[in-house]
Amino acid sequence: MIIPNGGSLPRPRGDSPAAAPAASLGASSQARAEEIAVTWRPSRHARRLLTLAAAALLLAVLTRNAALAGVAGPPALLLGMARAGAARGSDRGPGRPARVSVRIGLTAARLYEGEPAAVDVTVQERDGQDPADPAAAAGQPGPAGPGWRLDARHGARWTLEPGSGIEPGSATAVNGSAARFTFAVSRWGKRALGTVTLTLHDRWRLAEGRVTFTLPSVDCYPSPAVQRTRVVLSKLPNRLGEHRARVPGDGTEFTGVREFVPGDRQRAINWPASTRRGRLQVNTFAAERSQDVVLLVDATSDVGKPGESALDLGLRGAAGAARAYLDARDRVGVITYQWGGAHWLAPSLGRRQVYKIIDVLLTADTGYARGAVFGRLPRAALPPGSLVVAFSPLLDGRFVEALRDMRERGVALIVVDVLNADPPARRLFADVAARRIWRMEQDAIRFSLRELGVPVVPWDGVTTLDLPLAPYTRRPLVTRR
């Protein structure tokens, strides 16, 4: 799915459209245009003809066979024609352009994992001028004006060398002055699309000009997990929102009936109840509040298969949760916890916040930083009374300590366990024992968090987030200090 500029929120993972043909991906926006010098050299075909002519002539002289000299005739003739005629453009064929203008366009510079996109490449001769042309030397415009299309007789051929993590969706070699290559990115991150080589030929196909240029990078966002329900705290900040609070207020949800006191609105009088009791009764309603949600992503360890690793699941889960809570007009912030320190974004509202959050998520780096230290999480990123949803494999002891510290400070916390890989299984007794100890240690970490009142729910990345969070989305989450 393509993210429009200021458009609608991203659709969740699993709702992505099927691979679409290149034409259905829409028009592209120009990402880059540059002029590149063309380097001309003899083509492979020319080298073959030269070999044939030279071998035939040599054998003709050695064996004194004139028929072999005749065999050298056609290739020698072709080579001679190319040599004499290719350097100058004539009405019978184009010359060799010394420079070409290449334009690169992308249908989307930001996309989600697995989403099809396309890159368009177009070549034009530079202003239609040839340095060998006297008109060009005199400063006059070329025969077809600026930016004329490359002559079809140049036989332009594009070859795509996809970059790392780029999956081509179409043929990687295309003929013509313009080409469209479709691709998809399998894993989130900033990805270089690779390089494209443009090969031009002269009229005789005996000289070829090669131009190689680098394609721009794209930002691939993690596909957001599906989450339709939300965890709501029992104590909500005094701010207008959409969640039903326990205190009475001006919401729309009926909570009960009480006796009328001066100052109550007349329209709130419950006339049937007033008739039954003989005194005026008014309806009461629940207040509607919003909450602050902070998504905490543990990027200190990334285990598992690429594409299904703990960090992949964490980022997808965080993106899905951000979308779900922002849909409910909650203020959502994010903290990525990593070796180089924590990156964070203060809670805020609005659709734009989704993109800001995902941009922060993209900075997640699992690389080990020697000497890096992190203690407590930044206070500015954790407003009082906020709900913290942590996505972590719980493998880093310091992250677990940070969770305990937050809980002791009274923060409402829920942990989504994204560990979906085990140590490699071997038959050696020591390995089996180590694996068992590791498993017990992991169980102990989760048990200690539960004992502190921190719910830990496992998530495999395949099901929706609603399923593991179901026990906590049915009723408000009560947080005790």
Partner 1 sequence: MSDMPELPPPLATPRAGVAAAVGSRLAALLLGAACIAWTATPALHSGLAKTALVVAIVAVTAGALRLATADIPQPEDSFFRPGYVQAWLTFLALLRTLAWEETAAVALLWLEVQHTSRPWHTAALGAGLLAYLLTTHIAESGTDAGPLLRRQAGVLAAGACLLALGAGFAMIPAAAPGAGSAILRVLAAAAVIAAAALVLPG
Site residues (vs partner 1, CB under 8 A)? 27-30, 43-45, 47-49, 51-52, 55-57, 59-61, 63-78, 80-81, 84-86, 88, 90, 92-93, 103, 105, 120, 122, 153, 155, 157, 164, 172-173, 175-180, 201, 203-205
Q: Which two tokens stand for residue 395?
A: 């493998």
Q: Which is nearer to partner 1, 218 or 245 (CB)?
A: 218
Strands 217-221 and 207-214, how do they pair? unpaired
In DSSP terms, 342 is beta-bridged to 337
Q: What residues are paired with 283 via a beta bridge? A: 257
Please give the single-letter amino acid code of residue 299. A
* Closer of 153 and 246 to partner 1 (Cβ): 153
Q: Which is nearer to partner 1, 49 or 357 (CB)?
A: 49
Of the pair 31, 280, the CB lying nearest partner 1 is at: 31
Contact 415, 403 (CB under 8 A): yes
Of 200 and 419, which CB lies nearer to partner 1 in the complex structure? 200
- Residues whose CB falls within 8 Å of the CB of residue 44, separated by 6 or more in sequence, listed in order: none
CB of 83 to partner 1, least distance (A): 8
Q: Could you list the beta-strand ranges (E) of 63-144.
A: 99-106, 110-112, 117-125
CB of 62 to partner 1, least distance (A): 8
Structure tokens that stand for 441 in this block: 């240690």
Q: How far is the CB of 156 from partner 1 (least distance, A)?
A: 10
53, 369, 39, 79: which is closest to 208 by C-alpha? 39
Task: Return the number of the residue (32 or 475) whose C-beta is nearest partner 1.
Answer: 32
- Nearest approach in angstroms of CB 40 to partner 1 is 16
The nearest distance, CB 351 to partner 1, in angstroms, is 21
Q: In whole angstroms, how close is the CB of 15 to partner 1 at the nearest point?
A: 28
Hunting for tokens 């954790």 — which residue is that? 382
**221: β partners:** 112
Q: How far is the CB of 226 from partner 1 (least distance, A)?
A: 33
Q: How far is 436 from 426, CA to CA, in rounded Å?
A: 12
Give whichever of 120 and 417 is closer to partner 1, judged by the CB atom.
120
Written as one letter, the residue type at 434 is A
Q: Which is nearer to partner 1, 7 or 139 (CB)?
A: 7
Distance, in Å, from the CA atom of 393 to the CA atom of 161, rounded to the nearest integer, reads 36
Least distance in angstroms from the C-beta of 59 to partner 1: 5
Instruction: Classify 15 as helix, strand or coil.
Output: coil
Give least dist CB 78 to partner 1, A.
Answer: 6
User: Which is nearer to partner 1, 179 or 310 (by Cβ)?
Assistant: 179
Would you say 2 or 69 has its CB closer to partner 1? Answer: 69
Nearer to partner 1 among residue 11 and residue 157 (C-beta):
157
| Sequence-ordered list of residues with C-beta below 8 angstroms from that of 119, at least 6 positions apart, any chain | 28, 104, 105, 106, 107, 180, 181, 183, 193, 215
Question: Smallest gap, in angstroms, from Cβ of residue 370 to partner 1?
Answer: 26
* Residue keyed to tokens 């396309």: 118
Asked if residue 300 lies in contact with residue 274, where contact means CB atoms within 8 angstroms, the answer is no
Q: What is the Cα–Cα distance from 217 to 183, expressed in whole angstroms?
A: 13
User: Of the candidates 289, 353, 343, which has an alpha carbon nearest to the alpha carbon of residue 321?
Assistant: 353
CB atoms within 10 A of CB 185: 24
* Least Å from the CB of residue 134 to partner 1: 18
Q: How far apart are CA 83 and CA 87, in angstroms?
A: 7
- If you ran DSSP here, which 8-state letter would residue 126 be given? G
